[in-house]
Structure 1
Amino acid sequence: MVISTILDFVFPPPPSVFTTAMSVVSVAMLAYLGLLEARGVHLQYSKFSLAPNKKVQSRTGMLLLYSPAFLAGLASFLIFPDGGLRFLILRSAISLHFFKRILEVLFIHKFSGGMGVGSMVVISLIYFLSTATSIYSQHLSEGLPEPPVDLLYPGIALFLIGIASNSYHHILLSKLRKEGEREYKIPKGGLFGWVICPHYLFEVIAFVGISFISQSVYSCSCSLAIFFYLLGRSYATRRWYTSKFEDFPEDVKALIPYIF
């Protein structure tokens, strides 16, 4: 009964050992990384970059995080020149997502400190592999019967809401510090009055939108994996703020308003 209900919303899993394995590995790995974040073992970037042995400048590191995934999205238009509307929108959404990230690194974010080389390699590889696998999994689904429940257009709406709201909160964060300032402040405006990581919340929404556009098992697994990781990261972020600021509001949650 449960499997039958799920199949109303997703394409039948393609007969691919690779995509099946990647679905399991993605959820397990990012859930584990999220648990480590919650326990205080952080990937070394942003406010958790604590002088690792080898590091690069934050701006350079962030560009190297997102560029391979963005290039993979662009390359997919050459590698798979044909495909239906869903495949076209999926590739466009993924490419747009990482292009937005690159623009934010270049023109919006303010950086201090560095990024651990090991963390940079791990995150960049995760983004690249998840992008390539999402596109490949969708390619394998071409020609299969469409799911009975079509989530394409709700997915587009969620994706656009997610990336627009994510950018808005990144802009609010960038305005906290004037040019030359390095100290952190408690964010205000937008949904920062409800959660300390609204940019993470809307990132999850954007990826849920991508999974709705795709309606593939892998993309759904990828969205779930990102949610698990950002749960841990947001929990650690809230704990960091409460340790740095005595006046941090107790009613401001980590990721989900009023809940978590």
Structure 2
Amino acid sequence: MFLSCVTFPPPPSIFMTAMSVVSVVSMANGGYSETVGKHMQYSKFWKVNSQKSAAKQAKVSSRNGMLMLYTPAFFAGLSSFWLFPDDGFRFLLLKSALTFHFFKRIFEVLFIHKYSGAMTLDSAIVITLSYFISTSTMIYNQHLSQGLPEPSIDLKYFGMIVFLLGIIGNFYHHFLLSKMRKDGEKQYKIPKGGLFDKVVCPHYLFEILVFWGFAFISQTLYAFSFALGTSFYLMGRSFATRNWYLTKFENFPKDVKAVFPYLL
């Protein structure tokens, strides 16, 4: 079976098996919710149908909220170097990739992103826990895989290539987004440059590559499950974003796809 050739045998842990299932189901459900208009309350388009309810909820600034999202996961990755210092080269690659990913996100929050609103505190807490738990679980699952037979097809170096492609492409398109507005501007514009002429959310496309990079480096069932769930979720957000642009801008080009150039 192909799956057994590319993944470690599942560790004897009911918790890890359950988390693998939960990650796919919960993230896929989140992606479906985005496509039908039930948005997480931290994006530009959730406000359309939620202004009254949002007014009653505690909020944090977008900048502080995004720092809150990524910092615990970053420290989870950083602490893994101390908690699991000698678990092999594959584990070192995974720890490094996860830690660098969230370091990059914190760097973007502090120095790249432009902000125009706030996010609700309860949504910030949910997303923060999701990032922290998924990162910690991926690291712990890799630790449990030590001593198990290696997959017959080694994908860790391919995973590093996919991860680097994703992290560079994601950063580049976040940079392009940040240059759309001058200081003090808050109005939304149609993004230009890079792959924005082909897909509405190329930063999500490259983020999907980042998580598949984690999966190929790790080659554990949980990492693949979380990458699949993340793909479903970000595809849902991409479809929701495209619909938002179509309703917001009459001149939005209809041939721009949601996620994959020329396809979807």
TM class by shorter chain equals over 0.9
| Matched residue, 2:17 | 20
2:8 to 11, 24, 34: 11
1:188 to 185, 189, 192: 192
- 1:37-96 Cα shifts (integer Å, max 9, x gaps): 111111111313525222100000000000010010011111112110000110000000
Distance in 2 (alpha carbons) for counterparts of 1:174 and 1:123: 22
Contact 1:49 1:114 in 2 (8 A): no
Distance in 2 (alpha carbons) for counterparts of 1:48 and 1:108: 21
TM-score normalised by the chain length of structure 1:
0.97
1:133 to 130, 134, 137: 137
Distance in 1 (alpha carbons) for counterparts of 2:227 and 2:97: 14
Structure 1 residue 247: deviation in Å?
A: 0.3
| Matched residue, 1:48 | 45
Give the match's secondary structure for 2:119: strand
| Matched residue, 1:167 | 171
Query: Bigger shift: 108-117 or 42-51?
Result: 42-51
2:31 to 27, 30, 34: 34
**Mapping for residues 101-116 of structure 1, pairs under 5 Å:** 101-116=105-120
Give the match's secondary structure for 2:225: helix
TM-score normalised by the chain length of structure 2:
0.96
The one-letter amino acid paired with 2:142 is Q
**Mapping for residues 64-213 of structure 1, pairs under 5 Å:** 64-213=68-217
Unmatched 5+ stretches in structure 1: none
- 1:186-227 Cα shifts (integer Å, max 9, x gaps): 000000010000000000001111100000000000000100
Structure 1 residue 251: deviation in Å?
A: 0.3
The one-letter amino acid paired with 1:48 is F
Structure 1 residue 5: deviation in Å?
A: 1.5
Aligned-residue CA RMSD in angstroms?
Answer: 0.8
Give the match's secondary structure for 1:46: coil
| Matched residue, 1:230 | 234
Distance in 1 (alpha carbons) for counterparts of 2:121 and 2:214: 29
The one-letter amino acid paired with 1:20 is T
Give the match's secondary structure for 2:153: coil
Distance in 2 (alpha carbons) for counterparts of 1:6 and 1:35: 26
The one-letter amino acid paired with 1:19 is M
Distance in 2 (alpha carbons) for counterparts of 1:85 and 1:48: 42
Aligned length: 257
Runs (4+) of structure 1 exceeding 6 A deviation are none
Give the match's secondary structure for 1:176: coil
Unmatched 5+ stretches in structure 2: none
Give the match's secondary structure for 2:196: helix
Give the match's secondary structure for 1:191: coil
